[in-house]
Amino acid sequence: MNHTRRNFLKFAGLTAAGLCVASAGGVMAAGAGATYKEGAQALKAKRWGMVIDSKKVGTKEAIDVLAKACHDVHNVPNIPGKQNIMWIWAAGFEQAFDQPNNFMDEGLEKRQFPILCNHCTNAPCVRVCPTQATYKRPDGIVAMDYHRCIGCRYCMAGCPFGARSFNFMEPRLHLDVTKLNKDFPTRMRGVVEKCNFCVERLAQGKQPACVEVSNGAVVYGDLSDPNSEIRKILREHYTIRRKPSLGTEPSVYYII
Amino acid sequence: MKLYNGGKIITGLVIFLGIFLAPLAYNAGKAAYSQPKLKMPENEKECIESKEFMRTKHMQLLNDWRDASLRDGTRVYVNSKGKEFEMSLQKTCMKCHTNKAEFCDKCHNDAAVVPYCWDCHIQPEGLKK
């Protein structure tokens, strides 16, 4: 055999490649061939949206029912004072819509509105998040990966709707640990959290928790499908969204 | 050949070797490290992948599961044998491995790793006040 440098290098290269494949293959073999797919019963949409009939859920008591259902499912603590965590809560017209009116009709003046994350099309929180812990899913939901949240609170500064809460303290201290929903995690101190449009329930084919207890006052569906129930309701009623002038394009509509 | 400052150097070397070899002396005669005995699930014989894969790669698997289910919305894992599982720490892993203290913690304690899973996820035993 002709011992040239060229042959030696070829042989050395092949040996090194073979060793790499052999060592990697041994460990990878077991996991190779595994794939991911969507669940069969998962609800799908191009653009999830919500319509809230404020005539039907217009009181603090009615909204508290929605809030309790949501907060129980997602292990959201109730912390007295200014540092409370809220995924959905009640607010008056002026706070909610930023359109004060001196001579408002009395019913509207006293009405309370359920406020939650709007899952905006142009979500400022997604743009400002430095770690991409907050991100936009293809179905329009603005979701969070709490593993990546570093607690910088840029998203809270960016959100014009105040939809986000920061865990200033260990949330488990304010949760009844015997009554937790064991299918959903809690959060830890130092992360921001907000409504997730019940992505985990959609994956199981369930409607969001607040929709389920609302007796039809809150409707959830695909905004991109002209035949969906939500689009039918939007066609038939006058609805407004929060702070439309900011151009964030909320997905939550309110029947006034 | 003359060793300058020989006394100091040799004393220093002896002290250094003494400290350096102290762990060996300390552990001499003790039983060798053995892998901890884990409490395996009673009703299930096979994990989602082989034992070797799970032992060496479960952390990467959990990372991949998190990204796939949260970001891509693909929440079903089809393993190498074609069997399907929901990708969920609390709803899949811990439904079989019902005891964190007797399963996760044993190796993690021995290896001195402190994963922060349970800061948020709820262990199957539940939380204590």
pLDDT, tens only, A230-242: 999 999 999 999 9
Contact A33 B61 (CB under 8 A): no
CA angle (A235 as vertex; A219, A205 as ends), nearest 5:
30
pLDDT digit string, tens, across residues A140-168: 999 999 999 999 999 999 999 999 999 99
pLDDT digit string, tens, across residues A30-75: 456 789 998 889 999 999 999 999 999 999 999 999 999 999 999 9
Other beta carbons within 10 angstroms of residue A191's beta carbon come to 22
Other beta carbons within 10 angstroms of residue A253's beta carbon come to 22
Closest Cβ–Cβ partner in B57, B71, B75 for A39: B75
Residue A106 lies in a domain: yes
The minimum CA-CA distance between A9 and chain B, rounded to whole Å, is 34
DSSP reduced 3-state for A75: coil
CATH of the domain at A174: 3.30.70.20
**In chain A, how many domains are there?**
1
Residue A87 lies in a domain: yes
pLDDT digit string, tens, across residues B25-36: 998 888 888 888
Give the residue from A98, A78, A96, A95 showing the smallest Cα distance to A87.
A78
Question: Over pLDDT 90: what percentage of chain B?
Answer: 73
Task: Report pTM.
Answer: 0.83
Size of interface A-B (CB pairs under 8 A): 88
Other beta carbons within 10 angstroms of residue A184's beta carbon come to 20
Task: Give the whole-angstrom CA distance, residue B39 versus residue B99.
Answer: 8
CA angle (A32 as vertex; A27, A38 as ends), nearest 5:
135
Residue A140 lies in a domain: yes
Residue A155 lies in a domain: yes
Residues of B with Cβ-Cβ distance to A34 under 8 angstroms: 49, 77-80
Closest Cβ–Cβ partner in A31, A35, A184 for B57: A31
Residue A203's domain comprises 48-255
Residue A35 lies in a domain: no
pLDDT at A29: 52
Contact A39 B86 (CB under 8 A): yes
Burial label, A203 (beta-carbon count in 10 A; 0-12, 13-18, 19+):
buried
Residue A20 lies in a domain: no
pLDDT digit string, tens, across residues A186-219: 999 999 999 999 999 999 999 999 999 999 999 9
Angstrom CA distances, A202 to A109, A133, A219, B86, stand at 35, 20, 14, 14
pLDDT at A49: 97
CA angle (B108 as vertex; B105, B109 as ends), nearest 5:
80
Residue A129 lies in a domain: yes
Burial label, A5 (beta-carbon count in 10 A; 0-12, 13-18, 19+):
exposed
Closest Cβ–Cβ partner in A38, A143, A187 for B74: A38
Residue A3 lies in a domain: no
